[in-house]
Amino acid sequence: MNMKLPLTIKETQEGLLKKEFSAVELVDAYLNRIKKFDKEINAFLTVSEEIAYMQAKRIDESIHRSGKKIFDEYSLFGVTVAHKDLFLTKGVRTTAGSKVLKDYVPQYSATVVKRIEEAGAIMIGKLNCDAWAHGSSGENSDFGSTKNPWNKEYTSGGSSSGSAASLALNFCLITTGTDTCGSIRLPANYCGVYGLKPTYGSVSRYGIVAMASSLDSIGNFGRSVDDIKRVFDVTRGEDGRDATVANYQFPTTNFQLKPKIRIGIPREFFVEGLDKEVEKTIMESVDLLKKEGIEFKEVSLPSTKYGISIYYIIQPAEVSSNLGRYDGIRYGAKRDNFGDEAKRRIMLGTYVLSAGYYDEFYLRAMKVRSKIIQEVNAVFEDVDALIAPVAPTPPFKLGEKVNNPLEMYLTDIYAATANLSGIPSIAIPSGFSKKGLPLGFQLMGPRFSEYTLFALGKFYHELIDYKPRVAF
């Protein structure tokens, strides 16, 4: 079958309604692509073919029976989703990318998984990631690294490696991910798709393997701003199972930009070490937006230079606690199945929390974290959003940083600010480098400003007449 696969939710639902294709035919096409290309890319850890066909058949029957109104009722009707393998899926193996959980079949589903399913989505499988979400390249997965679809010698970015790569290859329509320090934004940036890291506390973490609980944000990927917004509309809000989630009253205006928008350019994010092409794509975007009347202002966040140091104290501390539960008794394999990076972080975390070092490292890091938050809050008194690189360079080669953990950690130097201060950020694709690898930037905003960021993203998207692309 040679059908043209839709690239966005809108195209998918219009096609289903006009009977250009059925949901079952969509699943056929996705599964064919996965079978054909994923041996080289390694984006999927589990393909849930049976569930996908069962759900697709139900979708086709409902459309036949109810017609257009079913799409008004269920906003993700007929949308094919795959989840990062950190999200528990009832009855479908969930590994967290680690051999410790290689045979673990969850007894319940994560809130996000359930909500997406109840909105009419079709689940096609589970996606590769760095084990326990520890990594910036996907190379720490115990099941092999995910390759970058745009050039297989390069990493896809991590930790949500499969989530980004599978969209760049059209293995499905939307994917989910987690972002503790860039794990959504970096792979989105490296694979040329959109990624949302929402406000900490806007989406429930219930049923998602915990990494660093004061930083974990549950987000999603798509090939357009509309798509990442549509999924956020479904996943956000209280579920009574995660005490950090508040039912914030988001403004419901769709993509409406307020009249006077001012965006900050944080000086400390444009320093030595930033790749010229990354800087250029951002400055070109700034110029374009300026011409449309958006104001830009240089701002300063001096303490963000400590971001990675704070993060590599707080995060391993919380990791060592969260991974303490894996004892192989109730489920999962024994602790000698932890890979190198998990062991490294458990030990670092145990060290910074241990007697004699707690004040020197952990307490101090929590205090400097407050300083970053103060600076971020002060800047948002003055600007509506911040524009910044996602990472210092475009995608790097597989193997380039694996023997130097510190160098790997520094990949996320521009990601840390949003997680440490709990603010939302979206990764936006802007084009391609001379080598043909994706380029982009991130837009951060104050807590619960997701809809301003969506509006800005959409404005930019229309300005450059952005068309989603698939690598091959």
Partner 1 sequence: MAKLTKKNVLHVAKLANLTLTDEEVEKYLEQLSNIISYISQLDEVDVSELEPTSQTTGLENVLRIDELKPGNSLDLKYALSGTENTHNDYFQVDAVLEERSDPTTLKLRGASK
Whichever of 41 and 346 has its CB closer to partner 1, that residue is 346
17: CB partners within 8 A, 6+ apart: 63, 67, 68, 71
Q: How many CA atoms lie within 13 A of 292 on its CB side?
A: 18
Rounded to a whole number of angstroms, the minimum distance from the CB of residue 54 to partner 1 is 21
Q: 227 or 341: whose CB is closer to partner 1?
A: 341
Query: What are the angstrom distances between the C-alpha of 132 and each of 74, 128, 320, 338, 470?
Result: 32, 11, 12, 10, 28
Tell me whether residue 179 or residue 226 sits nearer to partner 1 (CB atom): 179
In terms of CB distance, is 250 or 351 closer to partner 1? 351
| CB 361 to partner 1: min, Å | 7
Nearer to partner 1, 280 or 371 (CB): 371
CB of 5 to partner 1, least distance (A): 37
**214 is a catalytic site residue:** no
Cα 281 from Cα 274, distance rounded (Å): 12
CB of 328 to partner 1, least distance (A): 8
Active site residue 163: no
Of 293, 304, 301, the residue nearest 262 (C-alpha): 293
| Catalytic residue status for 183 | yes
Dist CA 214 CA 234 (whole Å): 23
CA distances to 176, 259, 268 from 387, in Å: 23, 18, 12
**Which one is catalytic: 22, 84, 126, 166?**
84
- How would you write 163-223 as a 3-class SS string? HHHHHHCCCCCEEEEEECCCCCHHHHHHHCCEEEECCCCCECCCCECCCCCCCCEEEEEEC
Closer residue to partner 1, CB minimum distance, 93 or 280: 93
Query: Shortest distance, CB of residue 302 to partner 1, whole angstroms?
Result: 10
- Listed in sequence order, the residues at least 6 apart from 472 whose beta carbon sits closer than 8 Å to its beta carbon are 37, 149, 169
Chain contacts with partner 1 (rule: CB under 8 A)? 104-105, 107-108, 200-201, 214, 240, 243-244, 246, 303, 306, 308-310, 312-313, 320, 324, 327, 329-332, 335-336, 338, 343-344, 346-348, 350-351, 354, 357, 360-361, 363-371, 373, 405-406, 409, 421-422, 447
Annotated active-site residue in 141, 159, 202, 425: 159
Q: How far is the CB of 351 from partner 1 (least distance, A)?
A: 5
For partner 1, the closer CB: 99 or 344: 344
Catalytic residue among 98, 136, 183, 433: 183
Instruction: Give the count of alpha carbons within 13 A of 186, CB side only.
Output: 36
CB of 374 to partner 1, least distance (A): 8
User: Judged by CB, which is closer to partner 1: 73, or 103?
Assistant: 103
365: CB partners within 8 A, 6+ apart:
309, 310, 313, 314, 352
Q: How far is the CB of 275 from partner 1 (least distance, A)?
A: 21
Which residues carry out catalysis? 84, 159, 183
